[in-house]
Structure 1
Amino acid sequence: MEQGSRAGRVRWTVLAMLFAVTVVNYADRATLSLAAPSLSADLGIDKLQLGIVFSAFGWAYVAAQVPGGWLLDRFGAPRVYFAVIVLWSLFTAAQGSVVWMSGATAITMLFAFRFMVGFAEAPSFPGNARIVAAWFPARERGTASAIFNSAQYAATVVFAPIMGWIIAGFGWPWVFAFMGAVGLACAAVWLRVVKEPRQHPRLGAAEMALIAEGGALVDPPAEARAQPRPGETRRQIGVLLGHRTLWGLYLGQFFINTLTYFFITWFPVYLVEERGLSVIKAGLFATVPAVCGFIGGVLGGVFSDWLLRKGYSLTMARKVPVVAGMLGALTILGCVYATSNTMILLFMSLAFFGKGVGALGWAVMSDVAPRDCAGLSGGIFNMFGNLSSIVTPILIGFILKETGSFDLVLVVVAVSALAAALSYLLLVGRIERIVTAA
């Protein structure tokens, strides 16, 4: 009995590692935004140029989604994920080297390093979804997906104050070196914790039966299909691009990520330049909406799985939190009219709580992804969703350069939340696993 109890915790240990790595993943994405006020002043970068540099991550991240998803299916998520943790950590650290450059050279190299961080991080979220689909039965999948997805908020809570302190005390180049070192430390632990279920030495028979009978994809893709048939990947992509429900998920994730990329790129700049906070205070201020987003993210997944256990359909259990959360995120419009930082904090916190509740796209993707191409499915989903990582920073930079104010920016973010809710209401149909078999 005791052995079965210990074995029953293995999947949660794997999830804890996913959460920790995703915290570092998002902290690396946000490092440039916290360094931006000092960095842009030192290097002479204007708002539009800064927006273009912010977007460098998105160009590579989007372009590498389909190849990254294929690699996950072909070689397995644990090995591919380890390699990319090492790569993105090295390129994060390299961004600090632009301090010794100037003018166009500095901007070009900063863009290039940021581009390579995006390229290396591309398989991360499809890998998260693939691992959760392999380790968790359907009735726990909403909670598990919400936990790893909520790591984006935990990244701000844990690292924003530390990064603000490093920038203020030692200078912005050191924050990149620090985050690179943290990432390499995570890579050293990864391979000891995360493996495919059938290859994990601590997984007991009882837990294996629980996850397998609950619909988990326990067989590693490389074992399931070592030599794909000619034209198989092309046929699978055709199915994944021709399904109405998937298009609803793609569009919904694009609009949800608009809120995400506002938060991890321009939000610290908003606090420093529009609200007059210091870098250290901005880092501390940003933790409150992040905590609310984290709480909302976990509660959204728990609520979704609770609905499922109460007998509601999978479709209802996933859609209700998403739509309700995105409508709740409309409270960000209150920031346009708020006159005090306290009110800004309140409206931002409510908005990101709602966004956290509604960010169940990865749970739905784990529910519907075809068994023979879960990694590829996640890659395409993440590719469309993260087009916003390109559009959002540049669009905001353009708006700020033309208007000098964040008011229109906040309206755009609110409209994106509404569009995400409508995508799930009008396009996403019945949520069930899609079959690609010819």
Structure 2
Amino acid sequence: MTIKVKGLRWWMIGLLTLGTITNYLARSSLSVAAPTVLHHLHISTHEYGWITGAFLVMYPIGAPLTGYLIDRVGLRFGFLLCGVAWSLICIAHGFASGWLGLFVLRGMLGLVEAAFIPGGMRAAAYWFPPHERGTAAGVFNLGTSTGAILAPPLIAWSILRYSWHVAFIIVGALGLAWAVLWLLFYRQPERHSALSKEEAAYVGASVGTCGESGLRAATAIDAPAPKLLAILKQRNFWGIALPRFFADPVWGTLVYWMPLYLYQARGFDLKAIALTAWLPFVAADLGCMVGGPLSAWLERRFDVPIVNGKRIAFTLAALLMIGMAGVGFVSNPALAVALLCLGGFAHQTLSITVISMSADLFPRREVGTVTGLAALVAGLGNFAFTMTIGGFVARVGYTPFFVALGLGDLIGVALLWALVRRPSASAAAVAVERAARQARA
């Protein structure tokens, strides 16, 4: 007799979160090691801008490609391929001998690491009812900030104890260990033997709101292929993609440039960076768990539709983001770090809300592709911003860039409210949502 696991959907999203942690450990490793690597390999700030830019060029290209891959071959196999790839590429960083090698490796890393958001939202669409998807998105996005939190002490310890070469090897090995766990334990709901009948009905009812009844045992490859042009023609797609264009440079700055900013502009050494660079990501963890529950609370308490609740949460977080504009103006380093923490919290709060809307506005068979295409748009904004920093920070400093980061999300607010339209609810969808509300009550 197979053992049934209560709350299995949360175990599945937790497993995906572990993969996201290894994703962000690999992604953040170079930024933490940058002062050491740049010194030993004689790499200039301008060349470092090109290295980070390679990731940010390939990341938006990889997002729709990996999203489409996951929608076609399934989350289990598609995410496994990407996880093994980013782990091996991270290990290869330890054997780079110059900036060109790092440039190529970062580009390859960006191509495969883009899988985590499309993969996470596909898991949320299949495993969670609509009112829980925002929270589920917050949970798997905890991996982004958790990985970024763990990277400074882990990389700094590895460098001080061994070398910067070994630091990349350790991080890559952790990713390979996760890949084994993913292969052993992840399954889709309809194929997971540990899923109870009660939870299957709960998930199946929520799945029905996307136009499919119950948990069909069809494989992903048998489902109709997502139609890219049809997706791109929808205003709802641009309503969630364009706000991300203005929002994502905040996260790119925290991950790729903050350690170097603390080193160059604030005089922090490697130990000081290890002690402080993780703090904005702790704040980001809190933000991950605010956006989704806030929209669900607005629905439960004031009967605000879930899409409108997420737009309200995005707006409130964008107003908090204004504080990040002051990072370059304050003289106290501790206050500057505090404002970076505020930026991390606000960014993840609004980011979770807009990312999770793909599962609210599109059929579940398209969620990976839609999320990947939106990440492409977001990546273009991230790339443009980081290349501008790389080219001009030596001449104008960091202050103007923090001002732009603090104000950019206000544009996203206007776009989110102007473009997104709630999908019309069918009678079946209304009945399913009514049943879900009664179950929550």
Give the alignment's TM-score, normalised by structure 1. Answer: 0.90
* Separation (CA, whole Å) in 2 of partners of 1:222 and 1:379: 23
**Equivalent runs, 1:24-63 vs 2, <5 Å:** 24-63=22-61
Correspondent of 1:143 among 135, 139, 148: 135
* Separation (CA, whole Å) in 2 of partners of 1:220 and 1:351: 42
* Separation (CA, whole Å) in 2 of partners of 1:17 and 1:327: 33
Structure 2 vs 1, CA of residues 265 and 220 (structure 1 numbering), >3 Å: closer, same or farther?
Answer: farther
* Separation (CA, whole Å) in 1 of partners of 2:269 and 2:331: 18
Q: Which residue of 2 aligns with 1:226?
A: 222
* Separation (CA, whole Å) in 1 of partners of 2:337 and 2:424: 39
**Deviations 1:160-200 (Å, cap 9, x if unpaired)?**
21212222332222211111011001001012221111111
Residue 222 of structure 1 and its aligned partner are, at CA, apart by: 6.2
Deviates further, 45-54 or 302-311? 302-311
Residue 292 of structure 1 and its aligned partner are, at CA, apart by: 1.0
Q: Which residue of 2 aligns with 1:87?
A: 85
* Separation (CA, whole Å) in 1 of partners of 2:223 and 2:237: 27
Check whether the contact 2:325–2:404 (CA below 8 A) recurs between aligned residues: no
Correspondent of 2:337 among 334, 345, 348: 345
Correspondent of 1:251 among 219, 232, 242: 242
Q: Which residue of 2 aligns with 1:76?
A: 74
Deviates further, 390-399 or 138-147? 390-399
Question: 2:299 is aligned with what amino acid?
Answer: L
**Deviations 1:187-217 (Å, cap 9, x if unpaired)?**
0101222111111110011100001112367
Residue 135 of structure 1 and its aligned partner are, at CA, apart by: 0.3
Question: 1:302 is aligned with what amino acid?
Answer: P
Question: 2:388 is aligned with what amino acid?
Answer: L
Residue 7 of structure 1 and its aligned partner are, at CA, apart by: 3.5
Q: Which residue of 1 aligns with 2:229?
A: 238
Q: Which residue of 2 aligns with 1:107?
A: 99
Correspondent of 1:323 among 315, 321, 325: 315
* Separation (CA, whole Å) in 2 of partners of 1:219 and 1:68: 24
**Deviations 1:7-31 (Å, cap 9, x if unpaired)?**
4311000011111111111121111
* Separation (CA, whole Å) in 1 of partners of 2:24 and 2:370: 22
Q: In the alignment, is residue 384 of structure 1 matched against residue 386 of structure 2?
A: no
Residue 220 of structure 1 and its aligned partner are, at CA, apart by: 7.5
Question: 1:52 is aligned with what amino acid?
Answer: W
* Separation (CA, whole Å) in 1 of partners of 2:114 and 2:278: 25
* Separation (CA, whole Å) in 2 of partners of 1:156 and 1:225: 34
Deviates further, 36-45 or 77-86? 36-45
Q: In the alignment, is residue 373 of structure 1 matched against residue 366 of structure 2?
A: yes
Question: 1:304 is aligned with what amino acid?
Answer: S
Q: Which residue of 1 aligns with 2:267?
A: 276
Structure 2 vs 1, CA of residues 392 and 27 (structure 1 numbering), >3 Å: closer, same or farther?
Answer: farther
Question: 2:361 is aligned with what amino acid?
Answer: V
Residue 431 of structure 1 and its aligned partner are, at CA, apart by: 5.7
Check whether the contact 1:62–1:382 (CA below 8 A) recurs between aligned residues: yes
Helix, strand or coil at the partner of 2:207: coil
Helix, strand or coil at the partner of 1:386: helix
Residue 115 of structure 1 and its aligned partner are, at CA, apart by: 1.2
**Deviations 1:369-409 (Å, cap 9, x if unpaired)?**
22442222222112112223422221111121332x11112
Check whether the contact 1:369–1:378 (CA below 8 A) recurs between aligned residues: no
Structure 2 vs 1, CA of residues 269 and 224 (structure 1 numbering), >3 Å: closer, same or farther?
Answer: closer
Q: In the alignment, is residue 264 of structure 1 matched against residue 260 of structure 2?
A: no
Residue 305 of structure 1 and its aligned partner are, at CA, apart by: 1.5
Structure 2 vs 1, CA of residues 372 and 49 (structure 1 numbering), >3 Å: closer, same or farther?
Answer: same
Question: 2:151 is aligned with what amino acid?
Answer: F
Q: Which residue of 1 aligns with 2:438?
A: none
Residue 426 of structure 1 and its aligned partner are, at CA, apart by: 2.7
* Separation (CA, whole Å) in 2 of partners of 1:316 and 1:90: 42
Residue 430 of structure 1 and its aligned partner are, at CA, apart by: 2.5
* Separation (CA, whole Å) in 2 of partners of 1:431 and 1:153: 32
Check whether the contact 2:325–2:407 (CA below 8 A) recurs between aligned residues: no
**Deviations 1:232-263 (Å, cap 9, x if unpaired)?**
65xx2122111122112111112221101001
**Any gaps of 5 or more consecutive residues in structure 2?**
427-441
* Separation (CA, whole Å) in 1 of partners of 2:188 and 2:425: 21
Check whether the contact 1:261–1:388 (CA below 8 A) recurs between aligned residues: no
Post-superposition, which runs of at least 4 consecutive aligned residues in structure 1 deviate over 4 A? 216-222, 431-434
Structure 2 vs 1, CA of residues 70 and 267 (structure 1 numbering), >3 Å: closer, same or farther?
Answer: same
Check whether the contact 2:51–2:99 (CA below 8 A) recurs between aligned residues: yes
**Equivalent runs, 1:167-178 vs 2, <5 Å:** 167-178=159-170
Correspondent of 1:309 among 300, 305, 312: 300
Residue 340 of structure 1 and its aligned partner are, at CA, apart by: 0.9
Check whether the contact 2:131–2:306 (CA below 8 A) recurs between aligned residues: no
Helix, strand or coil at the partner of 1:215: helix
* Separation (CA, whole Å) in 1 of partners of 2:345 and 2:223: 45
Deviates further, 131-140 or 274-283? 274-283
**Any gaps of 5 or more consecutive residues in structure 1?**
none
* Separation (CA, whole Å) in 2 of partners of 1:422 and 1:207: 38
Residue 224 of structure 1 and its aligned partner are, at CA, apart by: 6.0
Count of matched residue pairs: 419
Structure 2 vs 1, CA of residues 222 and 260 (structure 1 numbering), >3 Å: closer, same or farther?
Answer: farther
Structure 2 vs 1, CA of residues 97 and 110 (structure 1 numbering), >3 Å: closer, same or farther?
Answer: same
Check whether the contact 1:252–1:424 (CA below 8 A) recurs between aligned residues: yes
Residue 64 of structure 1 and its aligned partner are, at CA, apart by: 2.4
* Separation (CA, whole Å) in 1 of partners of 2:32 and 2:325: 23
